[in-house]
Structure 1
Amino acid sequence: MKHLKAYLDAEVEARNHKDELCEERPDPLMIARRCRDEHHALTCALFAYGNAKSIVTFLSSLEPNLMDEEESVLRTRLEGKYYRFQSTEDIVQWFLTLGALKTLGGVQRVFQEGYDADGIVGGVSLVIAKLYDLNPYRSQGYEFLIGKPIVAIAKASAMKRWMMYLRWMVRRSELDMGLWNGVQQSDLIMPLDTHTFSVSRRLGLLKRTQCDMRAAIELTENLKKFDPYDPLKYDFALYRIGQEKLL
């Protein structure tokens, strides 16, 4: 494990700089960093599924202040726009919902209430529940975008996009924005996707065979053996190792 820690620490050091986010190695965080706003960043995180280049292209086409616009303006600006599972109507409704959340005080205000009561899972679940409360609109694409509140850890998906968003908001590094105070980075849960899941299993950091919330927590706990205060500093390195097929 000592050699593994040294390897991962070297990867973290090599990638912890702004040039790691570039056109040659696109990542949704490069779009979120442009305006450093918790609401626009949430849009960037939740649409971050699929091919990285396609994600960045789509996010670059969205104006950062769309959540501040009235419905008529949104419909004009978003006419004909879609992304994979999300139709134009899904995207319009998302920005209406996000605008309503912003009016209530923002993402962190809702998250903090759930976090203070029941940790990271409680915070994420409360934000998701609030998003659904704010807008009665439903569709398959809209619900895929937002996800479902976590009722039981044993039955929950890894919630990768939400956990990645929290990493952006809480950690302060050359990559992550650290816009929030009041949330401990040691409480964060690894954003587990197929790249990170596969690499972690090959490195012996993860035994669970299903990519779900229990696997994300297992990986987080194992990475705490390397850094109990900031286990998610290894996330971007593990992701890039898998993405670039370095194993």
Structure 2
Amino acid sequence: MTKTELKEFLDSKVIEYNNPKFIESDPIQIPHQFSIKEDIEISGFLTATISWGNRKSIIKNANHMMELLDNAPYDFVMNHSEADLETLSAFVHRTFNGSDFAQFITSIKHIYSQHNGLELLFAKHAEPDSLQPAIHQFKKMFFEAEHLPRTQKHISDPMKNSAAKRINMFLRWMIRNDTTGVDFGIWNTLSPAQLSCPLDVHSGNVARKLKLLSRKQNDGKALNELDLALRKLDKTDPVKYDFALFGLGVFEGF
């Protein structure tokens, strides 16, 4: 395929998958249950955090998370008591357990109380063409609060060569305004041009077959390579191609 043919092919796949039907089988349906900005971003962040493994299991457990937060995540975060945190103890999703969940609630409250919320913290440390340094700083600020050492593994660090798939997916949800109603676009201080693709086994394999990616590992170096390739196709909204790569991999077995 020529570059023009590749772009036309991927653009057509974006149109096919970046539409409201995508929500029905995707974890993004969880934050779509809410209308208040803080509820959307907290539910989105928690859902993205447990987004690995079987998608049905992710959605089921993310819904359970919201039930444990009384379906009012921001109010729970800001006004919880120690007894409230104890009600989270039985939660488990793979290696993310109730202790991790309680820690996340404590750390999210710290972000809102000390750093003016999730959006402004990411915006403060963003670079013009990348949010990866902002993710690194976010992790540092997130664990300023007293925390369990085991919980640190649940937030990836791009500066340690991680592709940080789940946080990049969360950032896509918050920042892209795709006009189709899938991504939210509620963080106006940041631009879709700064986003990186949520690189996973599906998008990585498809990207390699399309010669957008040569590196074999799905790590930070691979993410940088893919970012550069996607920005050549659309520098203002490169991560729209996540829909194409993911859809081709998951739904079409490309």
TM-score where L is the length of structure 1: 0.89
1:145 is displaced (CA, Å) by: 1.4
CA 1:242 to 1:119, structure 2 compared with 1: closer, same or farther past 3 Å?
closer
Identical-residue share of aligned pairs (%) = 30
2:241 is the alignment partner of 1:234: yes
1:178 is displaced (CA, Å) by: 0.7
Matched with 1:19 is 21
Q: Provide the C-alpha distance between the structure 1 equivalents of 2:103 and 2:221, rounded to a whole number of angstroms.
A: 32
Matched with 1:107 is 118
Matched with 1:7 is 9
Q: Superposition RMSD on alpha carbons, in Å?
A: 1.8
Q: Provide the C-alpha distance between the structure 2 equivalents of 1:207 and 1:38, rounded to a whole number of angstroms.
A: 34
Contact kept? 1:45, 1:164, Cα under 8 Å? yes
TM-score where L is the length of structure 2: 0.87
1:218 is displaced (CA, Å) by: 1.2
> Which 4+ runs in 1 deviate beyond 4 A?
116-119
Q: Provide the C-alpha distance between the structure 2 equivalents of 1:32 and 1:135, rounded to a whole number of angstroms.
A: 27
Match of 2:155 among 122, 125, 146: 146
2:44 is the alignment partner of 1:41: yes
1:119 is displaced (CA, Å) by: 4.2
1:103 is displaced (CA, Å) by: 2.0
Match of 2:167 among 158, 162, 180: 162
Q: Provide the C-alpha distance between the structure 2 equivalents of 1:172 and 1:60, rounded to a whole number of angstroms.
A: 24
Q: Provide the C-alpha distance between the structure 1 equivalents of 2:127 and 2:238, rounded to a whole number of angstroms.
A: 20
CA 1:122 to 1:238, structure 2 compared with 1: closer, same or farther past 3 Å?
same
Q: Which runs of 5+ in 2 are unaligned?
A: 67-71
Structure 1 residues 80-89 or 31-40, which shifts more? 31-40
1:45-76 superposed Cα distances (whole Å, 9 cap, x missing partner): 11111111110000011224142322211212
2:137 is the alignment partner of 1:126: yes
> Letter of the aligned partner of 2:155 in structure 1?
I
Q: Provide the C-alpha distance between the structure 2 equivalents of 1:54 and 1:144, rounded to a whole number of angstroms.
A: 20
Q: Which runs of 5+ in 1 are unaligned?
A: none
- Counterparts of 1:59-138 in structure 2, within 5 Å, are 59-63=62-66, 64-65=72-73, 66-68=76-78, 69-76=80-87, 78-104=88-114, 105-115=116-126, 119-138=130-149
1:31 is displaced (CA, Å) by: 0.7
Structure 1 residues 61-70 or 81-90, which shifts more? 61-70
Q: Provide the C-alpha distance between the structure 2 equivalents of 1:20 and 1:136, rounded to a whole number of angstroms.
A: 36
2:63 is the alignment partner of 1:54: no
Contact kept? 1:190, 1:217, Cα under 8 Å? no
Contact kept? 1:32, 1:40, Cα under 8 Å? yes
Matched with 1:32 is 31
